[in-house]
Amino acid sequence: MDDIDRTILSMLQENADIPGKVIADAVNLSTSAVERRIGKLKQDGIIEKIVAVVSPKAIDRTLSVLVELEIQNEHRHALEQFQRWLDHAPEVQSCWYVTGDMDYVLLVAVRNLEEYNAFIERLMGEQQALVRKYKSLIALKTVKHGLGLSVLE
C-alpha cells in the first residue's frame, strides 16, 4: 500500500459516496486508475465493506449502553455458541472479547430502558448457563463516534 492508496482510504472513510473523479483529481490519477486501486483494496481485504451509517436519532435508538459480561466458563464450544447468539441479537451493535475482569463488552443500542431491560432478560434467560454477571454503563453523551482508522504511516 502506497501513499496514494492511503489518501484514497482516508477520503473514502470520510465519505464513501465521494465520486471517483474527485478522488482522482486529489491523487493526480485517472478515474479508472482510482477505481482499479479501490477494487484491489477491496480484493485484498483492506476495505472490508462499504456501509451506510444510520443516525440513531432517526430510528429512535438513542440509548447506548455498554454492557460488561463475565462468563461462567470459557470453553471454546460455549463461547462460539454465545458469540453466535450475540451476533443475532439486533440490539447489539458491537461486541468485543476482552482481557481483564470481564470477558465481553457489548455496545447495545435501544429505544429506552424498557427495551434494554427486555434485552437483559432475554440474555440472562437464554444464556443463564454461561453468563455469570453483567454490568451496565449507560452513555450520557457521545463525545466521539466513528469507525475511521488512521491510515497514515
* Section 6-28 average pLDDT: 96
pLDDT digits (tens, 9 = 90+) for 27-60: 999 999 999 999 999 999 999 999 888 999 999 9
Mean pLDDT (the chain) is 94
pLDDT digits (tens, 9 = 90+) for 90-106: 999 999 999 999 999 99
pLDDT given at position 61: 95
* Section 103-123 average pLDDT: 97
Entry pTM: 0.86
Q: Are 86 and 126 in contact (CB under 8 A)?
A: no
Give the three-state DSSP class for 113: helix
**What is the CA angle 20-21-22, rounded to 5?**
90
Judge residue 19's burial from the number of C-beta atoms within 10 Å of its C-beta, 0-12 exposed, 13-18 middle, 19 or more buried: exposed
pLDDT given at position 58: 96
pLDDT given at position 59: 95
Of the pLDDT bands very low, low, confident and very high (cuts 50, 70, 90), residue 75 is: confident
**What is the CA angle 147-148-149, rounded to 5?**
120
pLDDT given at position 74: 78
What residues does 67 pair with on adjacent strands?
106, 136
Give Cα 65 to chain centroid, integer Å. 14
What crossing angle do the helices spanning 3-14 and 20-27 adopt, rounded to 10°?
140
Q: Are 92 and 44 in contact (CB under 8 A)?
A: no
* Section 20-24 average pLDDT: 97
